[in-house]
Amino acid sequence: VAGSMSKSELLGFEAIPTSTADTVSVPAGYKADVLVSWGDPIFANAPAFSQQNNADAQAQQFGDNNDGMTFFPLANDRALLAVNNEYINDEYLFTHSGENISADDARKSQAAHGVSLVELKKVDGRWVVNPQGRLNRRITAYTEMAMTGPAASHSLLKTAADPSGQKILGTFNNCANGETPWGTYLTCEENFNGYFASEKTVTLGKTYQRYGISDSDWGYDWYKHDERFDVAKHPNEPHRFGWVVEIDPMDPNSTPKKRSALGRFKHENAALTVNDDGHVVVYMGDDERGEHLYKFVSEGKYDPSKGRANRDLLENGTLYVAKFTGSDDELKGQGEWLELTFGKNGLTPENGFPDQASVLIFAREAATQVGATTMDRPEWVAVHADNKHVFCTLTNNKHRGVKDSQPLNAANPRTKNPYGHIIRWAPTQGDHTQATFEWDIFVMAGHPEKQSGLMAGTDNINKDNMFNSPDGIGFDRAGRLWIQTDGDYSNEGDFAGMGNNQMLCADTQTGEIRRFLTGPTSCEITGLTFTPDSRTMFVGVQHPGAHFPAGGDGIPRSSVIMITKDDGGVIGT
Ligand code: FEO
Ligand code: CA
Ligand code: CA
Ligand code: CA
């Protein structure tokens, strides 16, 4: 395709080279400023950032490791930015690197997780944080929320502290996001397994193993001070995480709602679209090697004239999982959505599914039961502005073609897939509720200088736009596809010439991809949202590893970056 690739009319900026510098770079004519960083005060009387801050301070400050985010306009000069705070880094959160954490340390860690809702105001034409904003809110790992939908009140969700099975404390490992046409924010719980552990050595059954839950956590040590994270003592607590949570950002007193109808897995984002017939459709990736890609279709229909009366459309509906098949042509084929409904497709008591709640709580096992395709870590999904094409990043998968359970398949055709790819599908007749679709691979990242065949990448990859591990993606209003990376930034060997993690911009009509932004040392670039006029773009720098953004000997702090064009124009033109 490369030779015939016509020059994109959508992409108006000069591509930038790779970088290994500890800074953010953008094209000539653009500017990138830090809007807000981990630990910045977001309430009027909140203390300033210091590594010595305690739990109470952190609960009034911007959370750590910002990821997915959504810009909600309030007026021309007022807005609310909802931002996920995925996780923490012990070595930066504490002065003592997280050794032998105290009860206050554990609470501080929990307070650095969740979601930050931050009002912005325009001062001299530029957006700044407004600590006086009445919608400012922190949602943390201990904020009370409600379980809704078919799994609410199920025995698998009941705990000693919550015999109702519908009152859950907190959300954490909030990876990416989504938003609804009725004005709510969706935050997605990803690697929740990493927070459960036990003082005792215990062997947990296969429904735990499938989600990576064991008696050792990923080092957070919450179980030492908050008993509900001791999985031996409270084995149902892990069932209460791994969900999509819906938040009403316009009511700081509202109770966030976990939406069980969307299934329990390691959620990346929630790409919501309204089908032509009014059904609300949500596409969702489960980011783990060999896991699956899902679709939810609401039972009810969206009616724009009903406003907030649409607000419970995610409470009930049908969940599906994708099966991809190949064709005579390489890198394209057909697909089918397999229904995950109790009593259908072998989801029966004999196979371990006594009811619909079990199907949803153990969605991964249900997906295996119905014969879903194992994927190369499905991360973000994005629906094109035409509402007829959907894209998903398959970030990488070192197990592909290596583990017997993850053989090569048409949609995941590369052994170990070190560079990742972006798959695209078109629902039959442009109808997102249809059971079938056609797919192709929009881009296979690779290294055309060092590799050959599939490892070189598709024709739209060249020495000037190489990258690896596509992760965050999103379309702007004009239909530009923004691609963010979370990959190998060694700039050596198979990744030589790729530099730090970055953001690129693609014209999905012509296939052209240009590098727009390079991030600081060791970071990943993740999270994107725009103002309605597309003249300010917000982008996340997560887990920088040197001294960004302060420089000098400052400790690194994850930050939201604000990109503007010097001539005030639309970003990307
Ligand atoms: Fe939180 Fe799969 O990235
Ligand atoms: Ca990600
Ligand atoms: Ca990733
Ligand atoms: Ca991340």
Q: What is the pLDDT of residues 242-291, one digit of tens each?
A: 999 999 999 999 999 999 999 999 999 999 999 999 999 999 999 999 99
Residue 6 has pLDDT above 80, yes or no: no
Ligand 1 atom having least distance to the Cα of 173: 1
Global ipTM:
0.95
Q: Is the CB of 86 under 6 A from ligand 1?
A: yes
Please tell me the predicted confidence (pLDDT) of residue 2: 40
* The dihedral formed by the CA atoms of 72, 561, 247 and 285, expressed in degrees to the nearest 10: 120
pLDDT of residue 45: 95
**Protein residue with least CA distance to atom 2, ligand 1:** 287
Q: How far is the CA of 379 from the centre of ligand 2 (A)?
A: 6
pLDDT for 5 equals: 53
**Percentage of residues of the chain with pLDDT beyond 90:** 98
Question: What single-letter DSSP state applies at residue 492?
Answer: S
Q: What is the pLDDT of residues 358-372, one digit of tens each?
A: 999 999 999 999 999
At 214-246, the pLDDT tens digits run 999 999 999 999 999 999 999 999 999 999 999
Say what the pLDDT of residue 172 is.
99
- Averaged pLDDT for residues 154-183: 98
Q: How far is the CA of 369 from the centre of ligand 2 (A)?
A: 27
Architecture in CATH of 2-190+242-301+315-565:
6 Propeller (2.120)
In this prediction, residues 112-134 reach a mean pLDDT of 98
Give the pLDDT score at 1.
39
Average pLDDT score over residue span 379-391: 97
- For the cut 80, the answer to whether the pLDDT of residue 376 exceeds it is yes
Please determine, for residue 96, whether its predicted confidence score (pLDDT) is greater than 50.
Answer: yes
* Percent of the chain whose pLDDT exceeds 70: 99
- Residues near ligand 3 ion, CB 5 Å cutoff: 471, 486
- For residue 377, give the ligand 1 atom closest to its CA: 2
Q: What's the chain's average pLDDT?
A: 97
Q: What is the pLDDT of residues 334-355, one digit of tens each?
A: 999 999 999 999 999 999 999 9
Q: Which residues surround ligand 2, an ion (CB under 5 A)?
A: 379, 471
Evaluate: CB of 175 within 6 angstroms of ligand 1.
yes
Cis peptide before 544, with omega less than 30 degrees from 0? Answer: no
Ligand 1 centroid – CA 420 distance (Å): 14
DSSP string, 154-220: -GGG--SS-TTS-EEE---SEEEEEE-TTS-EEEEE--GGGG-B-SS-----HHHHTTT--S--SS-
The tens digit of pLDDT for each residue in 393-452 reads 999 999 999 999 999 999 999 999 999 999 999 999 999 999 999 999 999 999 999 999
Q: How far apart are CA 123 and CA 129, in angstroms?
A: 10
> 3-state SS string over 110-173?
HHHCEEEEEEEEEECCEEEECCCCCCCEEECCCCEEEEECCCCCCHHHCCCCCCCCCEEECCCC
Give me the pLDDT at residue 241, please.
Answer: 99
| 151 Cβ below 6 A of ligand 1 | no
Q: Whose CA is nearest to atom 1 of ligand 1?
A: 175
Q: What spacing in Å lies between the alpha carbon of 303 and ligand 1's midpoint? A: 32
- Among residues 442, 292, 468, the alpha carbon closest in space to that of 372 is found at 292
Residue 67 alpha carbon to ligand 4 centre in Å: 7
pLDDT of res. 188 = 99
> First and final CA of the chain: distance in angstroms?
23
Distance 149 CA to ligand 3 centre (A): 29
pLDDT at 4 over 70: no
